[in-house]
A and B are shown apart, each in its own frame.
Chain A
């Protein structure tokens, strides 16, 4: 049983004339076995929350804490957070020229496990993971995300989820830009991950369609850098019907 606790998180980014506060006191507790959906309008700070938990250097935490099983995450380097069990599937996965997918995956696996995976089973695992999200095996020899289509990048993130098997997965709009078939295979990937029982998922999305495949236990409405309302999966349906209007007005 593991718990990720975000308490009163305030985060700023550097802008030309000083700092701009984006997260304004986020409180969120995610326990293993749970799936939380975060929905909210563009620019409300959802990705900022995801990046801040993962430790992106662009974001400065000005107040609050993030604890993983009581241990301070904010004091850890980015890679330490990953080794502690956090994983972020990015909204815009990064291209890394000259580094092949297979080298990247093996390096990451080795870093997380503290030892290199056994070659024979590893190749099979990689092939299986790619097959499951209908990614051509040729992608293994291509450079990380270079020239991948939007949907291919997202599927590649799920391949990593499958192979690296973290404790906590934050999925930032992994469903955006996916066609119907890709949405299904990606959702299946997330559900396989969840079905291990002791894994936690924080799913950032704009669309209820993915929530029909991946049933969330909780839905959070994210507006103006904080959580404006929380509820069960029925909240997602209501948001779809009513939009964020009432929250935005309250927030203003």
Chain B
């Protein structure tokens, strides 16, 4: 395990103890309450989780759920036997107590059902608006995309809640599926999210995580393949402010031949105690011949006092692959870029703004949803207004 100090931010990389072969279990009793010393929990501030990692009661939800469903798509909350039947449709098997409890204890499931063959031009938008961060609650969401369907689901999280959540995604053979999860929480929210996808044969799956708000956001974005030829693209954009902890943990399990994956996560950090964690676990199993994978994480540190942990972790069990690689970098503003812009008359604030927009530009372009693009640009802009603009002397690097 190596650690480099880049401009006050710590970037860690290198070999970590393998944690990619856990034996999952639906039995809550098989999962002890984590202590924080476990490899998968060591970055997370457990004290701030309101016991969601332990045995906080899942209280009746105070989160308002609304959606827009294009014709042909069914969205409904189901209970009982019907809900139980949807547990595990992504092949999800809990690896920790929180997710095991969500699967075992949450009485209902929100099901988004996209029939086979349907092609949607409009996204399906599901909004979860938390109204009370004082209660601890849990949610199970199942997104089922039929074979050869083409659809996008945007899952918006806003307001405040203390929420443990499992989102299971089943991508049918040949489907083209996008899932965007936007964490635009109020400052006090706590969110533990497990977003697991099973990608069908020759299907394409795009998962986008956008995390701005909340006190602690910890998201697992996992991908496995139900057959050969599947492609997954995992994109992420986050902006971490003073005191916030935003953690994204990817696990791409290349368990089928000729599958592809590409992950790009970019984050900005500003303010005392801003902490981002990115863990990119990729497992290339023995059967996974002819696969291709690449993962990238870049962090731009805007002020002192931030910490960016970045841990790419590739485990390769077969040499018969097309390619596998990772890149990770954490840096500060580039003085030469700022100088160049300023030498053209652009004020230092405006120069910083340009550089930050530039930093995120490629990922925002890749997300490719016009409405979302505008929303993201506005979010980046309002984040920037906190350090850049109003008071350039307040801890901003010069």
Which residues does A use to contact B, with CB under 8 Å?
A: 54-58, 77-79, 81-83, 87-88, 90, 93-99, 103-104, 107-108, 111-112, 143-144, 160, 164
Which partner residue on chain A sits nearest B363 by CB separation?
A98
Quote the shortest CB–CB distance from B217 to chain A (angstroms): 25
Q: Is the CB of A57 within 8 A of B335?
A: yes
Mask of B304-347 contacts with A, CB within 8 angstroms, 1/0: 00000000000000000000000000000001110111111111
Segment of B42-50, B81-89, B279-287, B354-362 in the binding face: B354-362
* B contact residues around A77 at 8 Å (CB): 342, 348
A5 to B361, CA, bound (A): 42
Q: Is B350 an interface residue (CB 8 A)?
A: yes
Quote the shortest CB–CB distance from A128 to chain B (angstroms): 19
Q: Is the CB of A78 within 8 A of B339?
A: yes
* A contact residues around B342 at 8 Å (CB): 55, 77-79, 82
Which partner residue on chain B sits nearest A146 by CB separation?
B358
* B contact residues around A81 at 8 Å (CB): 343
Which partner residue on chain B sits nearest A143 by CB separation?
B358
Which partner residue on chain B sits nearest A145 by CB separation?
B340
* B contact residues around A96 at 8 Å (CB): 337, 340-341, 354-355, 358
Among all A-B residue pairs, the 3 with the closest Cβ atoms = A98-B358, A98-B361, A108-B344
Q: Is the CB of B361 within 8 A of A112?
A: no
* B contact residues around A94 at 8 Å (CB): 336-337, 339-340
Which residues does B use to contact A, with CB under 8 Å?
A: 335-337, 339-348, 350-351, 354-355, 357-362, 398
A96 to B333, CA, bound (A): 11
Q: Which of A82, A95, A98, A107 contacts B343 (CB 8 A)?
A: A82
Q: Is the CB of B345 within 8 A of A112?
A: yes
Q: Is the CB of A107 within 8 A of B350?
A: yes
A144 to B357, CA, bound (A): 13
* B contact residues around A83 at 8 Å (CB): 345
Task: Give the interface centre of B336, B344, B355, B361 by most chain A CB atoms within 10 Å.
Answer: B344
Q: Which of A56, A93, A98 contacts B357 (CB 8 A)?
A: A98
Task: Give the interface centre of A77, A81, A94 by most chain B CB atoms within 10 Å.
Answer: A94
